[in-house]
Amino acid sequence: MNDTIRSQPLMTRALPILIVAAVPLASFLSFSIQPLMGKQLLPLYGGTSGTWLGTMLYFQLALLLGYSWAAWLVRKRVKVQVGATCGLALLAMLTFHLPSEQAESAPGIGTVVWRLAISSLPAMMLLFSTSPLMHGWLRRRGQEVPYYLYAISNAGSLAALLLYPFVIETSLRVPEQTFYWHGILIIIAGLLAAAGYVLLRTGDATDAQRTPDEPAETVSLGLIAAWLGLSALTCIGMLGATYHLASEIGSTPLAWVGPFGAYLLSFTVTFSERWRRWMTLTTIVWLAVSLAGFMVTKGYTASTVNYLTALWLLSLTASGSFLGNALLHSLRPAQRFERFYLILAAGGVLGGLLSVAIIPSLFARPTEFVLASTALLTIGMLWLNGRREPSVAIITAAVLFVPVLVLGFQQGRQETASGARVLHLRDLYGHIMITLNPTSAVLSSDTTTHGSQLNADAAARRRPTLYYTESTGIGRTLERLQAQRPAMRVGVIGLGAGTLAAYARKGDICDFWDIDPKVIRVAREYFTFVADSAGQINLVLRDGRKALEDSKSDYDVLVVDAFTGDGVPPHLLTREAITVYQRRLAARDGLLVVHASTRYSRLFPVVEATARTLGRSTIDVVTDITANTADRDWDPTHTEYLIVCRPEEMNDISAWFPEEEDKGRVKHKVTTIQSPLINSQLVWSDGRNAAIDSFELGRFLFEP
């Protein structure tokens, strides 16, 4: 009996240590699983809307379910809480696995959510419920609500966000990530079981410290609405900033680091119990300055997100997140923490669904980032004013929103200053612009131009332009092969304006695959490359890699031109993907051509190393054309193409691109690597591909 009494203080001190260890680990694991699942799903299902939206919806619903589970469980008896937590942990360890079944050709959102739930829902519920549940366990010790655990939890999430693209993704294959992930899950389960054991053993002491008869805290509907609104606004602002960066560098974990990192850091700092009122005042000023800076450098325009724009964008995201979460911290309840966290999770779900499913149908261009930031600034000014009269709120909102809207209107008018008509289309795949002039039509998505067509006459409309002119890597390749082959079949992953259809002759077949339905509609309605082509043109709404995996057709040329912003989706350039392409090219001795004209990525080393593991060589062709002629190279621009071929073909194909042509009008830079060594770090596979391998971060950060 005396030994038991003496052990009580030691066990009592052990509980906070176990909890402080378990909470950040659980958050780290929950945030590292999301990109891991994405890497697993893309090769299986392709980059369809069902894949992207289903994955996002699943994790948001899992978060809400985890918080709901904790909110229900934390009100139960200690034995019930510990038993249920240990049971869920055991179920999570036994059932977790990555989805591996081959999906149907076009999986729906429900299918993706269901298969992810089967593979990982118990684990995700355990991880997401850990932080709010541990609040309750410490609360039973007589502590005030330990909101510092929320800061520690978000610190764990932030660590996962920073480590994944720079360390985990570059060092570990998906199977290895899964092994370590499962191992850490077992450690977390052990920590929770140990904490539960300590809680049960010290039950008498902790119950004596509690005040179970304290009156229940009243939480008004207005307060719940404030929690929900602030949580949703900060989430919309963070996702809006991520969208802008992804439009520039591609939809990869790298695009999430800045905005999502600022978002998580704001939780860590504001809930650390060291936040003061003067810090909130400073954040309001910071947000106002950042909003002005972003509107001047970027605003509603389609200008490139360079280092200066990115700086203002991240500053605006950080200031908005800090202000929103500072206000949430000031509104936190003294007792009902489980309801508080549940509403915050619901606000995040609401913000995510609004950003993906609702806002794109309401706003034809991505304006929600600026509007959410302005709304947060308005709320901050009302908080500073301390008055709740409707007239004050209306006047404050008008003073802040009107300048932003007027400046946005002026920026919109500048797009049409030359008499052009600009159309904006948007869905969950993003935003595209069609600029229609009397003499041309241009297709672009935010900062990247995807195609153009000159409309002076019928002959001009049939001319390939921009990245696809006759002297570029793809133009010269098609011309050379057409001179040798009376009829060809060409496959193109990524449609754009359909410019490559201009090369199709009578008897040629050209298959285009694109996952974005609005791009197919635009190519048919606003450009005539497809309609005017002499060959047979097939437009297919599908992920190109998945289509080729199921195809029985053979091709003379396959072109990968599927830009997401300024980058190519990695699952289209892995060893497994190139194997699929070579299978479809083998019968006709065809060539694989990858469009690599990016601002901040260097795809050649990755494609070259990956292709060499399959016994193929890669030729990098950079072309600069200073002017067009009467019959060639209309509307030219700087281009880069990678041609993957058999090693014995490399010299002959390289000769297609002399260093200089037509008295310097056309210049080619041809690069090949003939070293017998392969840089294994640059070899991409479905199990291991990292955006940082090809992305030139220094160039993005420091070059204007």
Task: Find the CATH number of the domain harbouring 567.
Answer: 3.40.50.150
**469 in the same domain as 405:** no
Q: Which of 138, 135, 142 is nearest to 211 (CA)?
A: 142
> When comparing pLDDT for 458 and 614, which is higher?
614
Percent of the chain clearing pLDDT 70 (strictly above): 91
Last residue of a domain, one of 209, 237, 253: 209
Task: Please give the pLDDT value at position 205.
Answer: 43
Domain assignment present for residue 314? The answer is yes
Least confident among 55-59, 350-354, 518-522, 581-585: 55-59
Q: Is the pLDDT of residue 337 over 80?
A: yes
Mean pLDDT of the region 125-153: 87
Specify the CATH number for the domain of residue 194: 1.20.1250
Q: What is the pLDDT of residue 400?
A: 79
Cα 536 from Cα 549, distance rounded (Å): 22
Q: How confident is the model at residue 73 (pLDDT cuts 50, 70, 90)?
A: very high
Q: Are 628 and 636 in contact (CB under 8 A)?
A: yes
- CB contact at 8 A, 18 and 191: yes
Q: Please write the tens of the pLDDT for every residue from 657-676.
A: 999 988 889 999 999 986 77
pLDDT at 77 over 60: yes
Domain presence at residue 524: yes
DSSP labels, 51-70: HHHHHHHHHHHHHHHHHHHH
For 339-355, the DSSP string reads: HHHHHHHHHHHHHHHII
Q: How many CA atoms lie within 13 A of 675 on its CB side?
A: 8
- 257 in the same domain as 197: no
Same domain, 410 and 510: no
Residues in Cβ contact with 102 at an 8 Å cutoff, skipping those fewer than 6 apart = 44
Only one residue has tokens 């921009």, namely 466
Q: Are residues 25 and 46 in the same domain?
A: yes
What per-residue confidence (pLDDT) applies to 322? 96
Give the pLDDT of residue 342.
Answer: 92
Asked if 29 and 127 count as a contact pair (C-beta separation under 8 A), the reply is yes
Mean pLDDT of 613-636: 90
Asked if residue 540 and residue 516 are part of one domain, the reply reads yes
Tell me: do 589 and 635 sit in the same domain.
yes
pLDDT of residue 1: 45
Question: Which pLDDT belongs to residue 417?
Answer: 60
Q: 657 lies in which domain range?
A: 465-702
Of the three residues 398, 415, 432, the one that is the final residue of a domain is 415
686 part of a folded domain:
yes
At 610 the pLDDT is 94
Which amino acid, residue 98? L
Strands 557-560 and 591-595: parallel
2 part of a folded domain: no
Q: Are 98 and 37 in contact (CB under 8 A)?
A: yes
What is the average per-residue pLDDT within 130-154?
Answer: 86
Which tokens go with 320? 């908005």
* Structural domains in the chain (count): 3
User: Are both 253 and 339 inside the same structural domain?
Assistant: yes
pLDDT at 35: 84
pLDDT at 648: 92
The pLDDT value recorded for residue 263 is 93
Q: With contact defined as beta carbons under 8 Å apart, do 385 and 284 qualify? A: no
Measured CA to CA, the distance from residue 453 to residue 435 in angstroms comes to: 11
Q: What's the confidence (pLDDT) of residue 211? A: 42
pLDDT higher than 70, residue 407:
yes
H helices then E strands: how many in the chain? 25, 15
> What is the model's pLDDT at position 245?
80
Whether 2 has a pLDDT exceeding 70, the answer reads no
Residue 597: is it exposed, middle or buried by C-beta count within 10 angstroms (0-12/13-18/19+)?
A: buried
Say which residue, 419 or 670, is predicted with more confidence: 670
Q: Residue 562: inside a domain, yes or no?
A: yes
Write down the pLDDT at residue 4.
46
| Position 538 pLDDT exceeds 90 | yes
Domain boundary pick from 154, 184, 209: 209
Residues 378-405: pLDDT tens digits? 999 888 887 667 777 787 778 778 888 7
Is residue 435 one of the residues assigned to a domain?
no
Under a CB-based contact definition with an 8 Å cutoff, are residues 465 and 635 in contact?
A: yes
Question: What is the 3-class SS of 142-182, one letter each residue?
Answer: CCCCCCHHHHHHHHHHHHHHHHHHHHHHHHCCHHHHHHHHH
**Per-residue pLDDT, 49:** 64
Residues 483 and 391 in one domain: no
Residue 318 lies in a domain: yes
d(CA 128, CA 342): 11
Are 383 and 487 contained in the same domain?
no
> Read out DSSP for 540-582?
EES-HHHHHHH-----SEEEE---BTTB--GGGSSHHHHHHHH
For residues 21 and 103, membership in a common domain is answered with yes
Residues 553 and 660 in one domain: yes
5 has pLDDT over 50: no
205 and 240 share one domain: no
Confidence band of 420 (pLDDT split at 50, 70, 90): confident
Average pLDDT over the chain reads 86
More confident residue, 409 or 666: 666
pLDDT tens digits along 190-240: 999 999 998 888 865 444 444 444 556 778 899 999 999 999 999 999 988
Letter for the amino acid at 122? P
**Sorting pLDDT into bands at 50, 70 and 90, what band is 574?**
very high
Average pLDDT in the 571-582 region? 94
Assigned domain for 351 exists: yes
pLDDT confidence of residue 102? 55
Give just the sign of the alpha carbon dihedral 286, 292, 297, 299.
positive
Given a cut of 90, whether residue 270 has pLDDT beyond it is yes
